[in-house]
Each structure stands twice: as structure tokens, then as C-alpha cells.
Amino acid sequence: MSPQNMMIVDLDAGTDDAHALLMLLAADKRQEIKLMGVTCVNGNTSMKNVCLNVLRILRSVNRLDIPVFCGAVDPLILPNPAAPIVSFPSFHGSDGFGDANLPNPPDINLVKSENAICALNRIVSENPGQLTLVCLGPLTNIALAIKTFPNFLTQVRDVYIMGGNSSGLGNMTPSAEFNFFHDPESAHIVLECAQKPLVILPWEACLNRGISFEWRNKVLGAIESPQMELMNAAEHDIWKDYSEWLPCDALLTAVALHPQAGKGKLCHMSVELSGWKTRGQSVIDSKHGKPNVNLLEEVDLEVLKKLLILAMEKY
């Protein structure tokens, strides 16, 4: 196995994070990558729920050998009490897994005692130039690692991020995507400190790549395996008001595993930190700033579907 195929995934364990993690685990099983660990961040749900959901996923495919680390429990800056109130995200349910009342919760003590920010730096520094980061939630852990360990980002091979937007269209507010809105300061730090273009999948590119529920339920969902049973239960109710399935984190992960599956453009991205109605919105500059992102515009859905099917096959 090439050492350049080492990966760490940083996530907040909603249901699309779960599909993405299962894709990475299946690729690890095929020896296409080496998954070095899972770092958890607050976002879709509380830190405890994020860790429990990750452990549920690992247990479903008998991969509790993959180390799990607990990271930031809050964004860098807590919301201003005078700012407009935005309710805690509930799309994935209060527990991140559709409030499905899943039985037999895993042992939370399986989470490693080492903090995620320290683990990120340790694993990266032990394998300089060989680690790819796949970032599926708010960027708090990554920003803290950058600010705590000056050489951290210089030793990372590639960074893939699901977050931000490309045309001011949001899913958390009218102008901001959830991951960047949840912790704009962290997004700002990561963008400004980029050593080379970060690969970013924005919200709009996800909207353009929806999958029919006929395929999700009758093809993918019909696979008989513990992990598919888990995902069917977690997603049973959350998509009922939608016309297409949008597994955003899985879309990004397909590109991380097969870079040729994504098409994008180089540009400069920053994030608005103080706008009353635009906090967390990405600002794109294709003419003036030095390119710091490869902004994905298309993802090959056939590649994604193949990877999802491989991820759900019984081990």
C-alpha cells in the first residue's frame, strides 16, 4: 500500500457523515487507503452523540480498531447574545441519527483519551506529507490544530472540505451553509492558512447532484447488511419532505477517494465574519486573490453510487 493513501476524517456524525465514513472504511478494507483515525467535532449534534454515532458505524462493520478521538465541543466563538437567534440544527435529529431510538448504545469509553487536536498533529507529524484530511463538519478541530501546532498544515498532503457556498445560497441562513455558519472563525483560519489549494465542495454543488429516492431506497437501501440496516433506521424520517437525496459528505468523500470524479475551478475564498445577515457566507474572488481553493462544481454521481454500494455490502 502506498503511504500516500493515509487519511484522517474529521466529522460531526450526522447521517451523511455516516455514509462518508462507511465509504472510507470500505476503501480501507480494499486496501486502497489506510484510515488512520476519526476525529469528532461538535456540529450536527453534541460531542457525546457524535462519538456514539461514530462508534455505532464502526461497530456495524466490525472496525472498532479504528481510533476515535473527541475534539472541540463548541465553536471558537460562541454566538453573540444580541445576534438573531438561530435554533440548533435539527435536520439529522437531536442525536444526529434521526432520533431513531437505536438500541444497544456502544461503550463511550472506547473513545481514546487523547484529544483530537493533539491526535491530528501527532498522526500528521509521524507521517509528514502523506496524510489527507477529509473534513465533513465545522472546521474547529482543524483551526485549533493549525493555531496550536505551527507546522501542522505544512505537513498535510491534501485537505478536502465539505462546506461554504459559491453563490451566496445557504441552507442554515439565506446566505450561509451550515458548516461554515456554525464556526465562521475556524473556516476563516483554515482558508487564510492554506498552504496550497484546499478542495472544497460547496452547498450549491450538492444541490446540483441529488439522487432519486427510488435508487436510495430500492437499490442502496435494499442491500442486506448491518451497516445498511443502521443507515435505513437513522434516515427513516429525516428525508420525508425532500424530493431528492443529498448525501453531501458522501459526495465530497467520493472525490477524496477518486479525485478524477470531481471538476472544479481555482479561486480565492474567504468567509464573512461580521455581517448581520451574511455571517458565515463564503466570498469568492476569481480575479484578485491568490487561489486558495479548488472549488468543486461537479461530482460524478456514478462514481459515488458505486462507492456507496461497496460501502454497504456485508463484510
pLDDT in tens, 213-236: 999 999 999 999 999 999 999 999
Mean pLDDT over 7-15 rounds to: 95
Mean pLDDT over 91-110 rounds to: 90
pLDDT of residue 1: 39
| pLDDT of 89 strictly over 70 | no
CATH number of domain containing 69: 3.90.245.10
Count of structural domains, the chain: 1
| pLDDT of 129 strictly over 70 | yes
Q: Is residue 220 in a domain? A: yes
Instruction: State the Cα–Cα distance between residues 112 and 40, nearest whole angstrom.
Output: 11
Q: Is residue 85 in a domain? A: no
pLDDT of residue 4: 54
Label residue 2 by pLDDT band (50, 70, 90): very low
- Whether the model clears a pTM of 0.75, i.e. scores above it, the answer is yes
Q: Is the dihedral of CA 17, 20, 22, 25 positive or negative?
A: negative
The more confidently predicted of residues 66 and 100 is 66
Reported as a single tens digit per residue, the pLDDT across 250-271 is 999 999 999 999 999 999 999 9
Q: Is residue 198 in a domain? A: yes
| Among candidate residues 11, 6, 20, 12, the one with its CA nearest the CA of residue 251 | 20
Q: Is residue 157 in a domain? A: yes
Instruction: State the Cα–Cα distance between residues 205 and 213, nearest whole angstrom.
Output: 19
| pLDDT of 3 strictly over 50 | no
Q: Is residue 87 in a domain? A: no
Q: Is residue 175 in a domain? A: yes
3-state secondary structure of 191: helix
Per-residue HEC secondary structure of 36-64 comes to EEEEECCCCCCHHHHHHHHHHHHHHCCCC
| pLDDT of 9 strictly over 90 | yes
| pLDDT of 287 strictly over 80 | no
Mean pLDDT over 117-129 rounds to: 97
Q: Identify the burial level of 22 via C-beta atoms within 10 angstroms of its C-beta, where 0-12 means exposed, 13-18 middle and 19 or more buried.
A: buried
Range of the domain at 145: 3-78+94-312
| pLDDT of 239 strictly over 70 | yes
pLDDT of residue 289: 77
Q: What are the start-end ranges of the E strands in the chain?
A: 6-11, 34-40, 68-70, 131-135, 156-162, 198-201, 262-271, 282-285, 293-299
| Among candidate residues 159, 177, 134, 194, the one with its CA nearest the CA of residue 283 | 177
Residue with grid cell 483560519, as numbered in its chain: 189
Q: Is residue 285 in a domain? A: yes
Could you tell me if residue 104 is left (phi over 0), alpha (psi between -120 and 50 degrees) or otherwise beta? Answer: left
pLDDT of residue 259: 97
| pLDDT of 70 strictly over 60 | yes
With beta carbons less than 8 A apart as the criterion, state whether 8 and 133 touch.
Answer: yes
Please report, as a single letter, which amino acid is at residue 307: L
DSSP for 213-227 reads HHHIIIIITT--SHH
Residue with grid cell 427513516, as numbered in its chain: 236
